Structure 1
Amino acid sequence: MMNKQIVVLGAGPAGAAVALGLKRLGYEVCVVSEWRRFAALEGVSQRVLEGLRQAGLHQALASACAASPRQVRWNGEAHAPNVEHLLDRPAFDAAIRQDLLAAGVELIEARVRELSSTAEGHCLQLDSASGPQTCHADFLVEARGRQAPLSGKGLRGQETLSLLNHWQEQPGPARSAVESLADGWAWMARLGDGRCFWQLTLDVASTDLPEKSQLAEFCAAQRAQSTLVRELFGAPALQPSALHARSSTATLCLQTSGDNWLRVGDAAMAVDPLSGNGIFQSLSSSLQAPAVINTLLQKPERAALARHFHQQRVEQLFLRFARIGRDFYAMEQQWVARPFWQSRRNWPDDLPLHAPADYASLRVARAPVINGELIDEADVVITADQPLGIWHLQGIELAPIVRALHSAPLTEVLAPLAAEQQRLVYGWLRAQGYRQA
């Protein structure tokens, strides 16, 4: 039996970011992962690349293609709003493994056949190329994405299915596009080497899908009706092609931690693919995880605080992305009565993505924060748009300033700060609705 201090299940961006962060804190980390079993392509924004850099995933970052143009056809209108970087997922996954190995993180290529957990630790039965293995972990990080087993309560959006197709054409310029359809939407892209991808996202309950053996023909028929497909691709796009079906239902785990385990990335919360980039949200929930785990292991008296911090931020992130998706769906007015669009334009709630600034509502409260390598508690400022609170503004604590403004004029409150800090804080106050009398 192998004895490990911390085992991370999953070598995607989320698992890798946690493993590298823990390694920097001095922990011995082992990552257990299978290779991806299907070809896939993703389009990511510049902020994802910044997240990869922040996580220390430099070789994964280098695997991203240069920015290429992206077309959007939504609500009967055509736009070319921005660019995106295309990620060949098999190459990206291989680069992540290179980053892990370069950092000295142990990597086991294996499938988890069985997992049993107690307060004393976790026992994993693994199937690897060299045969069955048993591994014991003191702490476990669940980062296997949407496929991670979920026990306990969770929140699910409308059941959603994505059908990913890929085929080969002649080399040409890299491009991508997205378009709305009567019963769903499609994302499509081609790489410079001629590999082409098209993904159709549908509602499980209302779509009359054929048998599994006929899905490739069904998708080819859908592509044949799209003028955008004909613009981006050649004749092979109109033929049945290799296909992989996967769930893309939005899910939120309502218990993302215990005293000796933590869920991150899509295993904690997975968003509708229209809501924002999945890699970005995976990194967002994972970059905080090393501090949470370090607190659970080194400061058990703060365990409840650390777990509350992680759960709060996972839930807030989920709602943010879910509302982004809701607002995109609501923009599509051509098929408002169709089940796909009708069920998604009002979920998860009717609250605005961004609450309007309201200086009168600002208040100071105690809340968990990341303080160096640990989760701590501090006075933060709760705002309409930041319900979890803001502690610092580029190193300047905001709670003392907001408190002082109740009894002193702005010039007096800001006087101890340097001129540039004064401008920074004043700009923040103005953004919150503050106006001098």
Structure 2
Amino acid sequence: MTRIDRGIVVLGAGPAGAAVALGLRRLGHAVTVVGTPRAFDAIEGVSDRVVAGLRGVGIEAALAAIAEPSPRRATWAGSTTALNHERLVDRAAFDRLLWQELQDHGVECLLARVMRWVPGESGDGGHTLQIQRPDDAQPQTLRARFVVEARGCLAPHPPQGVTRGPETVALLWRGQGAPGGAAGSAVESLPGGWAWCARLPGGAVALQLTVDPSAITLPPRAQLGAFVREQLAAVEAALPFLDSPAAEVHALARTSGAVLAPEVCGDTWLRVGDAAMAADPLSGNGIFQSLSSALQAPMVVHTLLNHPADAPHAQRFHTERVQGLFQRFARIGRDFYAQEARWAGEPFWAVRRAWPDALPAHGAEGDAPPHIEQRPVVDRDRIRLAEVLVTTEQPLGIWHVDGVEVAPLWRAARAAPGREVEALAPLLGGSVPRAQAALRWLRAQGGR
């Protein structure tokens, strides 16, 4: 069995894994990505902020697989709107381009499947993984100093401690229709779930039916595509996507509920993206939330490796943000479900409009007065403790606003309520316009 020694190994080459790998390269780390092509040739919808987020982490070439904005029709809560747009993504093409782009940026990419990895199992601070390359008869042993788990929903979870939302399954069908049809997408609520349909500019069609697995009897895999099309044949939003015969490309049933891992980091490992937490797909934030937990992960890894004194702060930082993202996206999904009152009594809707709790999607419970705490923050390439202002709307705290530290400004403004901002700005090391912008933000948080 061949042994390969590496420093940082990222498992998975999707948006989250790529964002971490590219961020670590910019910080001067050698990175190896281990991944395999997606098993399902999916079409997904993303927003302009996802495109901006991908550009922000240095991804450019892969954006060629993201179409220009196309109309999105939504039939929800008894009304139909066609005001919104979304960008459709051919994920197979996107992932191929992303794999090549990682290599162009100097990231080593190993086309292989991870056969075994248990965090901390080696006991010597490093990690031993077994990987299987397509052309190798025997698995290889991969030794890593640090491992980033970014295999999305395929990442295994421990048997206990996982937080899960209502059990949900997405029935997916991908077909190839006649080219030349108008690109676009549509979503519609149904008594037992909801449907999403899309057509790429080249004619590829995607149908998705999201239901509770306990309320439906699935056919054998070979009949799943016909089953999905039959279920959507009477759904108004789906009709434009079923207007002509289409050759089936692939059909799949997969779990798609919200999931939060019990632990998302250790001394020499980290979970990001859907491997750390996955949101209900109704929130429409799949790639966005994956990026959200991965954007600051390179600084967390860099701190764990190079600034051991700040390691506890880095782990706290990553854990709090992943857990905060999970709760926020779970509540966003809950609020979407709550908008649809027509099916409120149906089992699918009743449980989802009440999970995970009754707290607001943004901010914290109650109306606690703003106060200053010591919390971990991102300071250039590392995580360290700093004074932040904690408010109801910003429960994790705010350190800077437009380059001005908020905690000293808060103290100065409270100590001299009538003092002009022109007098405060020099004390804070910021310009007058920036101090004014920071004060406006403070007032918006309820500060006087």
TM-score, length of structure 2 as denominator length = 0.93
- Aligned partner of 1:37 in structure 2 is 39
4+ long deviations beyond 6 Å: 356-360
C-alpha contact (below 8 Å) 1:391/1:397 kept by paired residues? yes
Query: Are 2:190 and 1:181 aligned?
Result: yes
C-alpha contact (below 8 Å) 1:70/1:82 kept by paired residues? yes
- Aligned partner of 2:146 in structure 1 is 139
CA-atom RMSD in angstroms: 1.9
Change in Cα spacing, 1:359 to 1:340, as seen in structure 2 (3 Å) is: closer
The one-character-per-residue Cα deviations of 1:268-308 (angstroms, maximum 9, x if unpaired) are: 00011012321111111111111101111011122111111
- Aligned partner of 1:322 in structure 2 is 330
Equivalent residue for 2:130, pick from 125, 129, 151 = 125
**Offset at residue 359 of structure 1 (A):** 8.7
- Aligned partner of 1:115 in structure 2 is 117
Give, in whole Å, the separation in 2 of the partners of 1:250 and 1:358. 25
- Aligned partner of 2:312 in structure 1 is 304
The one-character-per-residue Cα deviations of 1:399-429 (angstroms, maximum 9, x if unpaired) are: 0111223321243455232342243123212
Give, in whole Å, the separation in 1 of the partners of 2:271 and 2:380. 21
**Offset at residue 55 of structure 1 (A):** 0.9
**Offset at residue 235 of structure 1 (A):** 3.0
Give, in whole Å, the separation in 2 of the partners of 1:384 and 1:154. 27
- Aligned partner of 1:202 in structure 2 is 211
Q: Determine helix, strand or coil for the equivalent of 2:252.
A: strand
The one-character-per-residue Cα deviations of 1:20-68 (angstroms, maximum 9, x if unpaired) are: 1111111111000011122101100011001100111111223211111
Give, in whole Å, the separation in 2 of the partners of 1:114 and 1:360. 46
- Aligned partner of 2:400 in structure 1 is 392
C-alpha contact (below 8 Å) 2:18/2:102 kept by paired residues? yes
Q: Determine helix, strand or coil for the equivalent of 1:365.
A: strand
C-alpha contact (below 8 Å) 1:184/1:200 kept by paired residues? yes
Q: Determine helix, strand or coil for the equivalent of 2:196.
A: strand
The one-character-per-residue Cα deviations of 1:58-100 (angstroms, maximum 9, x if unpaired) are: 1122321111111100012101231111110011001111220
Q: Determine helix, strand or coil for the equivalent of 1:257.
A: coil
Q: Map 1:1-20 onto structure 2 (within 5 A).
A: 1-20=3-22
C-alpha contact (below 8 Å) 2:364/2:395 kept by paired residues? no
Query: Are 2:361 and 1:353 aligned?
Result: yes
Give, in whole Å, the separation in 2 of the partners of 1:434 and 1:133. 59
Q: Map 1:290-301 onto structure 2 (within 5 A).
A: 290-301=298-309
Change in Cα spacing, 1:312 to 1:327, as seen in structure 2 (3 Å) is: same
C-alpha contact (below 8 Å) 1:251/1:269 kept by paired residues? yes
- Aligned partner of 1:253 in structure 2 is 261
- Aligned partner of 2:52 in structure 1 is 50
C-alpha contact (below 8 Å) 1:4/1:137 kept by paired residues? yes
- Aligned partner of 1:340 in structure 2 is 348
C-alpha contact (below 8 Å) 1:184/1:201 kept by paired residues? yes
C-alpha contact (below 8 Å) 1:219/1:240 kept by paired residues? no
- Aligned partner of 2:80 in structure 1 is 78
Once the two structures are overlaid, the 10-residue window that deviates more, 213-222 or 387-396, is: 213-222
- Aligned partner of 2:428 in structure 1 is none
Give, in whole Å, the separation in 1 of the partners of 2:151 and 2:363. 34
C-alpha contact (below 8 Å) 1:220/1:241 kept by paired residues? no
Give, in whole Å, the separation in 1 of the partners of 2:432 and 2:25. 39
Q: What amino acid sits opposite 1:21 in the alignment?
A: G
Q: Determine helix, strand or coil for the equivalent of 1:375.
A: strand
**Offset at residue 169 of structure 1 (A):** 1.4
Once the two structures are overlaid, the 10-residue window that deviates more, 224-233 or 105-114, is: 224-233
- Aligned partner of 2:290 in structure 1 is 282
Change in Cα spacing, 1:356 to 1:266, as seen in structure 2 (3 Å) is: closer
Change in Cα spacing, 1:216 to 1:61, as seen in structure 2 (3 Å) is: closer
Once the two structures are overlaid, the 10-residue window that deviates more, 417-426 or 125-134, is: 417-426
Query: Are 2:379 and 1:371 aligned?
Result: yes
Identity %: 50
Q: What amino acid sits opposite 1:425 in the alignment?
A: A
Gaps of 5+ in 1: none
Give, in whole Å, the separation in 1 of the partners of 2:366 and 2:149. 39
Change in Cα spacing, 1:242 to 1:357, as seen in structure 2 (3 Å) is: closer
C-alpha contact (below 8 Å) 1:183/1:207 kept by paired residues? no
Q: What amino acid sits opposite 1:82 in the alignment?
A: N
Give, in whole Å, the separation in 1 of the partners of 2:153 and 2:285. 15
